[in-house]
Amino acid sequence: MSFTSRMKSAGRRLDVFAVIEKLLTLAALVLVAVTVGGQLGQILGLHGTVGLIAGWSIAVVYDALWIGALRMSEVAIRQRSTVGIAVMLGLSVVAVGTSTATLLILGHAQVFAFVPVAAALFMGLRLFAGNVLADAETAAVIAEQSAADRNARALAAADARHLRSEATTDVLTETAGHLGEMQRQSARADVLTRAQAEINKARSEAEKRLQKSEKDHGVAALAFTERDLALTVSRPAVTAGPVTTVTDRGVTGVTQAKAEIEAVTPPPVTVSETDTVEGVAQAPVEGAMTLQDLADIAGVDLPVPGVTLTDEQLEVVLRWLRYAMEPPRSYRQAQKEFRRHRFIGGEHRVRRIWGEIETREASTPVA
């Protein structure tokens, strides 16, 4: 909408202050005219028609002066004329004051004495609203702009609160995930460590039992495995000897066979070199295969100290320890070196695999 259209639209709107001002001004003029026109002739000493005409003439002239002063004050204010505003406002104040005093003094309209003052006040409000404040259309535009600004600020504040809330929610969600994962890992570690502790305890007790059994019965058990259990039983030798029998015909002598089983003497059980320390001087074998070479040939991982070895790795380690010296190490010597290198393996397994190595060694023909 253009500025001209706005002004026309504003001009067509009803100005409440102007309507009330005109009504009050009209009422004040009528009150002053009736009061002055009816009594001023008698005050001046004129009676009858002459006094009435003189009084009403003066009243009309006074009302015209009052109306002119008010209108000229409005024009001076609109023109921003300082001198005009001072003169016309001063004249308007005098006219309003005179009208009010007249209504009070003459006594016939004392109740309405302040109607001129009310009319002047409403004129001042109208002039203030029309010259200081913006018109209704502009005020509406300003109000719309102000409302838009308020709405924009409210939306911005709401967006900021939403972003803060969303960020807080994201942080809480992320933290909750990390805390949940931490609790899950802690619970898993607790369960696994408890289970491993139980396993270690069971293995420790089993190892203690095996060590005690090997200490008490190991030597005898190893000696038993080295016995030759294929026993040779000789045929029973039959020897003749006289046997006396008693019959109804008398005593007769009969020769009867007597069976005798020849005693079988098992080979003596000797203590293997695995349990003895020979006094023969030993020396390292030159060019002996390394532990890595033996592990590669056997196709197993390199045995590592401090880690429980498999049977295949145990065999590799024991072969390396036995044949690294000339003459080969005994079981006790190899066992000492085994522990010195901090290899891990149960005593019963070490004895069993050592016995297998010696058995294969004994069955291999010497070239």
Q: Which among 107, 131, 155 is the end of a domain?
A: 131
Report the candidate in 342, 337, 346 with the shortest Cα–Cα distance to residue 319: 337
Task: Establish if 31 belongs to a structural domain.
Answer: yes
Q: Which residue stretches of 226-279 are H helix? A: none
User: Per residue in 333-360, pLDDT tens?
Assistant: 999 999 999 999 889 999 999 999 999 9
Report the candidate in 26, 18, 23 with the shortest Cα–Cα distance to residue 129: 18
Q: Are 341 and 305 in contact (CB under 8 A)?
A: yes
The Cα–Cα gap between 342 and 309 comes to 11
Task: Establish if 246 belongs to a structural domain.
Answer: no
Q: Give the length of the chain.
A: 367
Q: How many domains does the chain have?
A: 2
The Cα–Cα gap between 21 and 126 comes to 8
Q: What is the pLDDT of residue 215?
A: 80
Percent of the chain whose pLDDT exceeds 90: 23
The Cα–Cα gap between 31 and 103 comes to 8
Report the candidate in 314, 316, 328 with the shortest Cα–Cα distance to residue 285: 328
Residue 70 has pLDDT above 70, yes or no: yes
Instruction: Supply φ then ψ for residue 71, to 5 degrees.
Output: -70, -40
Torsion region of 48: left, alpha or beta (phi above 0 gives left; psi -120 to 50 gives alpha)? left
Report the candidate in 90, 113, 85, 94 with the shortest Cα–Cα distance to residue 27: 113
Percent of the chain whose pLDDT exceeds 70: 62
User: Per residue in 109-129, pLDDT tens?
Assistant: 565 666 677 767 777 777 676
Q: Which range in 9-13, 23-27, 58-62, 331-335 is most confidently predicted, on average pLDDT?
A: 331-335
316's tokens: 């590799």
Q: Which residue has the tokens 């409440």?
A: 16
- Which 3 state secondary structure label does DSSP give 267? coil
Q: What is the CA radius of gyration of the chain?
A: 69
Q: Which residue has the tokens 């008398």?
A: 250
Q: Which residue stretches of 80-135 are H helix? A: 82-106, 115-131
Report which residue type is found at 354. Answer: W
Q: Are 331 and 273 in contact (CB under 8 A)?
A: yes
Q: What is the pLDDT of residue 309?
A: 93
User: Per residue in 203-221, pLDDT tens?
Assistant: 888 888 888 887 888 777 7
Q: Are 327 and 277 in contact (CB under 8 A)?
A: no
User: Per residue in 262-289, pLDDT tens?
Assistant: 333 334 333 344 444 455 688 898 888 9
Report the candidate in 160, 152, 163, 358 with the shortest Cα–Cα distance to residue 274: 358
User: Per residue in 305-323, pLDDT tens?
Assistant: 999 999 999 999 999 999 9
Q: Which among 77, 102, 131 is the end of a domain?
A: 131
Q: Are 176 and 168 in contact (CB under 8 A)?
A: no
Task: Establish if 268 belongs to a structural domain.
Answer: no
End-to-end CA distance of the chain: 123
Q: What is the pLDDT of residue 39?
A: 63
The Cα–Cα gap between 118 and 135 comes to 23
Give the range among 130-139, 240-249, 300-309 with minimum mean pLDDT. Answer: 240-249
Task: Establish if 266 belongs to a structural domain.
Answer: no
Q: Which among 131, 150, 166 is the end of a domain?
A: 131
Supply the range of the domain harboring residue 295: 280-363
Q: Which range in 127-131, 143-147, 249-253 is most confidently predicted, on average pLDDT?
A: 143-147
The Cα–Cα gap between 35 and 306 comes to 131
Q: Which residue has the tokens 């059994």?
A: 213
Average pLDDT value over all residues in the chain = 74
Q: Tell me, what DSSP letter sits at residue 280?
A: S
With b meaning 16 or more CB within 10 Å and e meaning fewer, what string describes 271-291? ebbbeeeeeeeeeeeeeeeeb
User: Per residue in 171-200, pLDDT tens?
Assistant: 887 788 778 778 888 898 989 888 999 899
Cβ-in-10-Å burial (0-12, 13-18, 19+) of 315 comes to: buried
User: Per residue in 33-68, pLDDT tens?
Assistant: 666 666 656 666 666 676 667 666 766 676 777 777
Residue 11 has pLDDT above 60, yes or no: no
Task: Establish if 187 belongs to a structural domain.
Answer: no
Q: Which residue has the tokens 């590592």?
A: 304
The Cα–Cα gap between 27 and 99 comes to 12
Task: Establish if 273 belongs to a structural domain.
Answer: no
Identify which has the larger pLDDT, 303 or 34. 303
Q: What is the pLDDT of residue 219?
A: 75
Report the candidate in 125, 109, 129 with the shortest Cα–Cα distance to residue 28: 109
Residue 167 has pLDDT above 80, yes or no: yes
Task: Establish if 303 belongs to a structural domain.
Answer: yes
Q: What is the pLDDT of residue 330?
A: 93
Task: Establish if 53 belongs to a structural domain.
Answer: yes
Pairing of strands 325-326, 283-284: antiparallel
